[in-house]
Amino acid sequence: MTDLSLDLQAIAGIAIYIGLALPFSESIRKIRWRTVASAVAIQFAICLLLLRVPVISDGLGLLNEAVAALATASRQGTSFVFGYVGGSTPPFAVTQPASLAIFAFQGLAVILVVSAVASLLWHWRILPTIVRGISWVFQKTLGTSGPAGFAAVANVFVGMVEAPLLVRPYIARMTRHELLLLMTAGMSMIAGSMMVIYASMLSHQFANMPVQLMTKSLMSIPAAILFSHLMLPDDTVTSRSAEVTRTYTGTMDAITRGTADGLHIWLNVIAILVVLIALVALVNQGLALAPWVGGSPLSLERMSGWLFAPLAWLMGIPWEEAIAAGRLLGIKTVLNEFLAYLQLAAFDPSTLSNRTRLIVIYALCGFANFGSMGIQISGIAAMAPERRSDLNALAVRSLIGATLASCMTGAIVGIVAF
């Protein structure tokens, strides 16, 4: 297929994604279609500016150097603490170097450093200033203001539970629309610490991976606003400004608390990977007992591919590659994006074209899965117990909205980047 036909396919997909959200809308008549059109246009504008305008794309290229610097610094720490398991020179001859790349002690340990650095930048008021600046842009273009809008932007840098903490005093008074935006934005992006991990993991998949992932996260803000508005159109906001509540007593407090937060994330990621990979193996062993289909045993990955292939095709992916792309989307939704990225990294380079590979990277870049839905409900409910019933009622909408938002960003980057 030509790029033009794939672009037309993706444009149709964008319209269909919007249509798929309408059955979940509480009032189609209240939808402001100008807001919908503006949100789509802003996603195109962000993608064009960050990937196609040389001055901006070259400036963002500094992200590549920042990620490399963080990885190098982390390796210094892991080498000292864990020895050759953490990346230092082994005291013996190595015949299989790949066997020494212990993922938990080398690849994942950068989470600790990134978490501490993020806390430090927050204490120094650098990140809050950036977040407020981005929030102001979306307030002017899409009319999004108040605590929910601030937290939605903060998700670019912090996690889906940490962002609500920044506006904790307002959650009890938020409208249902604001709660939906809070949840949808949280699941349509990834935390800054995970962005560094994935950029390192996927560096051989595509050039300028840190820039690509940052572009995706920024595009996800208007996408999350769009689908939240489609499902719960509402103009009411609890407050016109959000007062940041994440404070530290000093620089060392920011470093130590940031490190402790990173340790929690690091251990959680390791534990989740062990359990989920084991569960997938158990499910696949059970499915292998069923009659074979197409000359091969059934597996969770194959079934996910069949189920999500149409969604992948709508992003402008050729049908012959849509099954493989759909398999990754299914793994992300049922399990998590980490396992999906691991599967993508293991793919034979000939399995997916460059265009499809980039589209899939964008579509997978988010926390939209069943496990995250539960984490959000419990995390936000702990801050405002009186909103638990609303959170439970909005959970499925937020998962669907975040999934469609990520797919829309994938369709748009395929049109813009190729």
Q: Is the pLDDT of residue 97 over 80?
A: no
Residue 92 lies in a domain: no
Range of the domain at 281: 3-87+99-417
Q: Is the pLDDT of residue 202 over 80?
A: yes
What is the percent of the chain where pLDDT is above 90? 44
Residue 135 and residue 222 in contact, taking contact as beta carbons nearer than 8 Å: no
Residue 108 lies in a domain: yes
Q: Is the pLDDT of residue 351 over 80?
A: yes
Q: Is the pLDDT of residue 63 over 90?
A: no
Among 63-67, 93-97, 215-219, 411-415, which is the least confidently predicted range?
93-97
pTM: 0.88
Angle at alpha carbon of residue 68, lines to 65 and 69, rounded to 5°: 85
Report helix angle 319-334 to 300-313, nearest 10.
Answer: 120
pLDDT in tens, 331-348: 999 888 988 998 898 888
Length of the chain: 418
Among 102-111, 156-165, 174-183, 330-339, which is the least confidently predicted range?
102-111
Residue 78 and residue 98 in contact, taking contact as beta carbons nearer than 8 Å: no
Q: Is the pLDDT of residue 165 over 90?
A: no
Residue 94 lies in a domain: no
Q: Average pLDDT in the 354-360 region?
A: 96
Q: Is the pLDDT of residue 186 over 90?
A: yes
295: left (phi over 0), alpha (psi -120 to 50) or beta: left
Residue 107 and residue 200 in contact, taking contact as beta carbons nearer than 8 Å: yes
Residue 380 lies in a domain: yes
Residue 319 lies in a domain: yes
Residue 364 lies in a domain: yes
Instruction: Identify the band that residue 16 occupies on the pLDDT scale cut at 50, 70 and 90.
Output: very high
Residue 365 lies in a domain: yes
DSSP 161-192: THHHHHTHHHHTT--HHHHHHHHHHHHHS--H
Q: Tokens 């996260």, residue?
A: 217
Per the structure, the count of domains in the chain is 1
What pLDDT is stored for residue 98 in this prediction? Answer: 56
Residue 285 lies in a domain: yes
